[in-house]
Amino acid sequence: MVDFIGGSLFPVLIIVILILSQSIKMVNEYERVVIFRLGRLSGVKGPGIFLIIPIIDKAIKIDLRVVAIDVPKQAVITKDNVTVEVDAVVYYKVVEPGAAITQVENYMFATSTLSQTTLRDVMGQMELDELLSERESINKQIQDLLDAYTDPWGIKVTGVTIRDVALPETMKRAIAKQAEAEREKRARIILADGEFQAAERMKDAASLYQGVPTAIKLRELQTLAEIAREKNLIVVTQSQNLETGNIAALSKAISEKKEL
């Protein structure tokens, strides 16, 4: 009799164990489970251990961590008719698991596709110079648009980063020539500005010398002292009235002295 009761309870015990194994669920801190009971949204469970009703309840697990989407290179025609290839990364996370399951069929695919189209639309409204110089503002603009589109899906776009803007070779050469011309222009402006400042200083010095004749004499003596440090033959005339013959005689006398 005992053996009969034990034999009949064993299958029931097995069934109970199977039901409990299907009823007990556990998810991590960064996960949530969306419960559907007989096709209707019952709620969101987790983290930790919880119970569901087998067969009646359907559980769908959602990861709440930030996901990075590597947006493939997109061919974009800018506002000034330049074709570029843009590569970007979009970061998002699920903030409302129930909406991510009920409002969109596949939120991962939908977010990735939307990122590509939004990237092309935003950059197609800008000129090439804006794409190259205002990446931070473009990142912010794309992020705001994506966040507004994905908000009904329970998705939060946390960041957008444009990794690369590939230009055609002809455009690269044109930009290089433009940069070289810009550098040359700046160099000429700096040189001209230096010449102007030097001319201003020389004009001021000439005005001072003209007002104080003694100063010009002191300047001549200083120049002679500087020349004396060199060993080259230099004839310096301190007066405009010195005749050419006297200069020649002085040069000859100095030359004869050096030969001796």
Judgement on whether residues 87 and 133 belong to the same structural domain of the protein: yes
Domain housing 180? 174-211
Judgement on whether residues 206 and 219 belong to the same structural domain of the protein: no
Nearest to 123 by CA among 87, 69, 149: 87
* pLDDT over 70, % of the chain: 72
Question: What total of structural domains would you count in the chain?
Answer: 4
Task: Place 247 in a pLDDT band, splitting at 50, 70 and 90.
Answer: very low
Judgement on whether residues 259 and 180 belong to the same structural domain of the protein: no
Judgement on whether residues 90 and 110 belong to the same structural domain of the protein: yes
Judgement on whether residues 38 and 84 belong to the same structural domain of the protein: no
Q: Show which of 167, 194, 221 is a domain's final residue.
A: 167
* pLDDT over 90, % of the chain: 31
**pTM of the predicted model over 0.75:** no
Judgement on whether residues 195 and 221 belong to the same structural domain of the protein: no
Judgement on whether residues 113 and 34 belong to the same structural domain of the protein: no
Task: Return the CATH number at 146.
Answer: 3.30.479.30
Radius of gyration of the chain (CA): 43
User: Are the C-beta atoms of residues 93 and 156 closer than 8 Å to each other?
Assistant: yes
User: Are the C-beta atoms of residues 79 and 127 closer than 8 Å to each other?
Assistant: yes
Q: Is 244 helix (H, G, I), strand (E, B) or coil?
A: helix
**Which runs of consecutive H residues, i.e. helices, occur in 104-243?**
107-124, 128-133, 135-150, 169-211, 213-228
For 50-103, write each residue's pLDDT tens digit. 888 888 889 999 999 999 999 888 888 888 888 888 889 999 999 999 999 999
